[in-house]
Amino acid sequence: MTHNRIARLVETLSTDDDNLNATTATDQPAAAAPADPVAPAAGDGPLLDAYSQAVTRAVDAVGPAVVNIEVGFRHGDAIRRGGSGSGFIFTPDGFCLTNSHVVHGADRIRVMLSDGRTLPATLAGDDPETDLAVIHIAAPDLVSATLGDSKAVRVGQLAIAIGNPLGFQATVTAGVVSALGRSMRSRTGRSIDNVLQTDAALNPGNSGGPLVNSRGEVIGVNTAIIAPAQGICFAIPVDTAKFVAGRLIRDGRIRRSHLGVAAQNIPLHRRVVRFHGLTVETGVMVAAVEPTGPARAAGVQDGDVIVSLNGQPIGDIDDLHRLLTEERVGVSTSLTVLRGTEKVDLTIVPAESSRTET
């Protein structure tokens, strides 16, 4: 009897302990299990943060389309190796974008793909005024990059540069878009507008490579650095590259118009500006007129100051260059000049330019 009573008491106490433990577990959060210090790592994937993932995704998408370009120049009967640069395939049939200064005047162009293949390339077209060129390679199984939209680019967004700086192939650097709407001079002296500024590190050899956003879309063609500075680099916007590339593939060049004058920028006297109601305080003075050019036929004289073309104000030579497009070739156009203190309206028919002309 005593034994049975003790057994029932032990059973009751055990039940009460279980209920107490259950209540305690409900009322208080369970302590986290200690980490196993010798547990194997699950791989680097989970450790990558969002920034790293964005960069690696972009590189995986565009990296196979980036190429190394080497050029050679003829010296007598031999072709000697010149410089090198970068480029990227942007069509499945082998058209590649690069900088004009990488391939301009080259007698031989060779391209190394990301998979190690080395191929000869031909120049499809070259436009020094925008520092862009298109070359073509013939090979199967080519990977092409996706071209983005310049209008969608925002200051502060991620910018990734891929290229071959100083001969180090497939080098990746990352930064941000530092500014939009910059202007820079091409090697011919013509202004290139709407240039992207980035702090993604560029070095000689990066020229012609792609500047890429986090979605793996090309937003620019890397083209220039400011040598004494750090983190001030420039890329031709992709919308300009798309337009120029299309014309180079179709025509081999970009058609532009010219007036047939040598000119320089000068300030205008305030009295002249007020008297004629001009919207600019500077103009383009004609220093010389070509004997057989459009300006001579229109009656332009040495010393005239151009202040308007096709109704658009002209404040400097860059304004004039921007208006002397392909659409103006052979088209009768109004031209306003100051001749002394008089304003003279002329009619001019711009001709096609075969080189950098005004």
Q: Identify the CATH number of the domain in which residue 165 sits.
A: 2.40.10.10
Of 176, 209, 238, which residue is a domain's last?
238
Rg of the chain taking only CA atoms, in angstroms: 33
- CB 335, CB 309: distance < 8 Å: yes
Query: Are 218 and 272 found together in one domain?
Result: no
How does pLDDT run along the chain (358 residues), one tens digit per residue?
444 544 453 454 444 444 434 444 444 444 444 544 444 445 665 556 888 999 999 999 999 999 999 999 998 888 888 889 999 999 999 999 999 999 999 999 999 999 999 999 999 999 999 999 999 999 999 999 999 999 999 999 999 999 999 878 889 999 999 999 999 988 888 889 899 999 999 988 999 999 999 999 999 999 988 877 788 999 999 999 999 999 999 999 999 999 999 999 999 999 999 999 999 999 999 999 999 999 999 999 999 999 999 999 999 999 999 999 999 999 999 999 999 989 999 999 999 987 656 6
Residue 120 lies in a domain: no
Strand-pair partners of 189: none
The pTM of this model reads 0.78
Q: Identify the CATH number of the domain in which residue 300 sits.
A: 2.30.42.10
Per-residue model confidence (pLDDT) at position 43: 61
Residue 45 lies in a domain: no
Query: Are 200 and 233 found together in one domain?
Result: yes
Residues belonging to the active site = 101, 131, 207
Of 192, 208, 238, which residue is a domain's last?
238
Closest listed residue to residue 167, CA positions, set 112, 104, 219, 211: 112
The amino acid present at 173, given as its one-letter code, is T
Residue 83 lies in a domain: no
Length of the chain: 358
Query: Are 262 and 323 found together in one domain?
Result: yes
Query: What φ, ψ does residue 214 adopt, rounded to 5°?
Result: -70, -15
Query: Are 183 and 216 found together in one domain?
Result: yes
Per-residue model confidence (pLDDT) at position 1: 45
Query: Are 229 and 261 found together in one domain?
Result: no
Query: Are 189 and 278 found together in one domain?
Result: no
Taking phi over 0 as left and psi of -120 to 50 as alpha, with beta for the rest, 43 belongs to left
Total domains in the fold of the chain? 2
C-alpha distances (whole Å) from 347 to each of 162, 251, 300, 306, 350 are 49, 29, 10, 12, 10
- CB 248, CB 133: distance < 8 Å: yes
Angle at 300 between CA 294 and CA 303, to 5 degrees: 135
Query: Are 264 and 326 found together in one domain?
Result: yes
Cβ atoms < 10 Å from Cβ of 36: 7
Per-residue model confidence (pLDDT) at position 76: 87
Token pair in block for residue 274: 């007020």
Range of the domain at 209: 146-238
Query: Are 213 and 160 found together in one domain?
Result: yes
C-alpha distances (whole Å) from 215 to each of 62, 64, 162, 180, 289 are 10, 15, 14, 19, 51
